[in-house]
Amino acid sequence: MTTVNFKLILTISLLISNVFAFERVPCDLSDVVCTTQASVNIYHNIVNGKPEFGIDRNDPLHRDTIQSISQRLNYTLTNAYLYGLKHCAIHQLKFNMNELTWEFYLTCPRLILEADYDIKGEIMSLNIDGNGPCRIVYDNYIIGLTGGLQLYNGPNENSYIHVTEFKMSYLDVRGLATYQFNNLYNSDPERAFIMSNLLNANWQRVTAATQEPAMYAVFEKFIESVNKYLKHVPVKQLFARTVL
């Protein structure tokens, strides 16, 4: 390429960039389409980790201990890892700035929870007892979260958001959940085989009875990362759209 042609291309590129100048315009926080589109990048930054903000990778997401205690069934998961958040898509991020609340949904093609388990109690009117490695797979999982927020002024009088609380508002496995528990009934093969078949044949009932404590613990860690991110980026930069 000649010097003249290179200069010509450079000049044309500069002219185009000046004519088609892009600008980032803050979203109106009541504009669900705008906030949801802007949140895609935020979500993936949090899942993939952002060391400069003190955020570790959240896929897999690790929890030392997850515990559920109820009248009929108690279980503990230790050294738990959830895989698959990086493949989830975020939908319908809504803010109510009058009530200082938020909500959104995730659609996840597959989430896999692996841990060491300890379980004791009753499920579907049958006793269950065991401890050892476990693996739970959730296919086509829809997860809803909602909670409260605080809006405050930070550096340079910019507005920042802090999540004050959250809860699981929706949990629905639209595909299939599969359960694998090694060493049920102290490795009694016949009883373990019967219970394993029962759990997987009745996965909807098992999931409804067991999923919320595990998912709450997972997203408790995730929300901690969200707040680390929100601490560093003002609202007007968090939620913005690109216009000509």
Tens of pLDDT along 81-108?
A: 999 999 999 999 999 999 999 999 999 9
Q: 43 burial class (0-12, 13-18, 19+ CB within 10 angstroms)?
A: buried
Structure-token pair, residue 24: 């980032």
CA dihedral 201, 204, 209, 215 (to 10 degrees): 120
Q: 203-232 vs 189-201: helix axis angle to the nearest 10?
A: 70
Q: Which two three-digit tokens encode residue 113?
A: 């929870």
CB neighbour list of residue 88: distance below 8 Å, 6 or more residues apart: 43, 47, 106, 107, 108, 109, 111, 143
pLDDT of residue 156: 84
Task: Return the ∠ at Cα 105 (arms to 166 and 113), rounded to 5°.
Answer: 80
pLDDT in tens, 126-164: 999 999 999 999 999 999 999 999 999 998 889 999 999
Any idea of the CA torsion for 195, 189, 116, 67, to the nearest 10 degrees? 40
Which fold is adopted by the domain 27-239? Bactericidal permeability-increasing protein; domain 1 (3.15.10)
Residue 243, pLDDT above cutoff 60: yes
Where are the chain's structural domains? 27-239
